[in-house]
Chain A
Amino acid sequence: DTGVSQDPRHKITKRGQNVTFRCDPISEHNRLYWYRQTLGQGPEFLTYFQNEAQLEKSRLLSDRFSAERPKGSFSTLEIQRTEQGDSAMYLCASSPKIADTQYFGPGTRLTVL
């Protein structure tokens, strides 16, 4: 059973650097979601793709954040000019349909020094 995978699992970077994370959804799932989770809080929605189209973005997704899903399969989330406040766990989830169950990956933990 190949679930959602994320890479890397951990990333440490210096303030001002750019970072990119990758998410591979479950095969045949055409919906893909990104969430962010800070310490002690529940995950917060960032953005959502249906196939390659980015259909919804949270106000949390500032100009420094960009997400892509070029071929409707894997997705990347890039953060430019990282800030210490970007330190968080970045979670990816996928589902076969809009209202269907979302399955989460293990997350990428970002630490910005």
Chain B
Amino acid sequence: DAKTTQPTSMDCAEGRAANLPCNHSTISGNEYVYWYRQIHSQGPQYIIHGLKNNETNEMASLIITEDRKSSTLILPHATLRDTAVYYCIVREARKVRNQGGKLIFGQGTELSVKP
């Protein structure tokens, strides 16, 4: 699985959009980009994922560059409850019986939303 690079930490003002970047320059054609977040002392929470096209759900939007070498997670109106560590993960979509699609987490970005 391709490696990802994220900033260690970011701040965002409450009510503003939080834009979290991720570089995945070695991503291959069959790898998806997944985003999870982890609020302190809780399990990781799935946010969104995509392959090529931009995606949006009730939590966030995912913008993937045309060359797929980077992506941005957008929280449109950040709240204090969005303070968490955000993980960007690239993961192979190919279904192989003995490879269960484990997630390989990096260090993530620690997002602090401030009042």
Specify which chain B residues have a CB less than 8 angstroms from the CB of A56 in the assembled complex. Answer: 98-100, 102
CA distance A31 to B101 in the complex (A): 10
Considering the chains assembled together, what is the distance between the CA atoms of A48 and B44 in angstroms? 17
Chain B residues contacting A35 (CB-CB under 8 Å) are 103
Chain B residues with CB under 8 Å of A50's CB are 97, 100
Verify if B92 is at the interface (C-beta below 8 Å from A).
yes
Residue of B32, B34, B98 most packed against chain A (CB within 10 A) = B98
Question: Does B45 touch A at the CB level, under 8 Å?
Answer: yes
Contact B103 A48 (CB under 8 A): no
Across the interface, do A95 and B42 meet the contact criterion of CB distance under 8 Å? no
Q: Least Cβ distance of B115 to chain A in Å?
A: 26
Chain B CB within 10 A, most for which of A31, A99, A107: A99
B91 at the interface (CB under 8 A from A): yes
- Check if A91 sits within 8 Å of B44, measured CB to CB: yes
B42 touches A45 (CB 8 A): no
- Chain A residues within 8 Å of chain B by Cβ, number: 28
Range class of the B interface residue count: 20 to 34
Other-chain residue from A42, A43, A99, A107 in contact with B95 (beta carbon distance below 8 A): A99
Give the docked Cα–Cα distance between A104 and B108 (Å). Answer: 17
Q: Which of these, A42, A100, A106, contacts B42 with CB under 8 Å?
A: A106
Report the bound CA distance from A45 to B44 in whole Å. Answer: 13
Taken together as a complex, chains A and B put the C-alpha atoms of A35 and B105 apart, in Å, by 10
Of all chain A residues, the one with the shortest Cβ separation from B36 is A104
Contact assessment for A99 and B93 in the assembled complex, using a CB-CB cutoff below 8 Å = yes
B101 touching A99 by the CB < 8 A rule?
yes
| A103 CA to B46 CA, complexed, in Å | 7
Residues of A at the B interface (CB closer than 8 Å) are: 4, 31, 33, 35, 41-45, 48, 50, 55-56, 91, 93, 95, 97-107, 109
17 A-B pairs within 8 Å (CB atoms) are namely A31-B101, A42-B87, A42-B106, A42-B108, A43-B103, A45-B103, A56-B102, A93-B44, A93-B103, A97-B95, A98-B96, A98-B100, A99-B32, A99-B91, A101-B34, A101-B49, A103-B46
The 7 closest A-B pairs by CB, nearest first: A42-B105, A104-B43, A48-B100, A45-B102, A98-B101, A104-B44, A98-B95
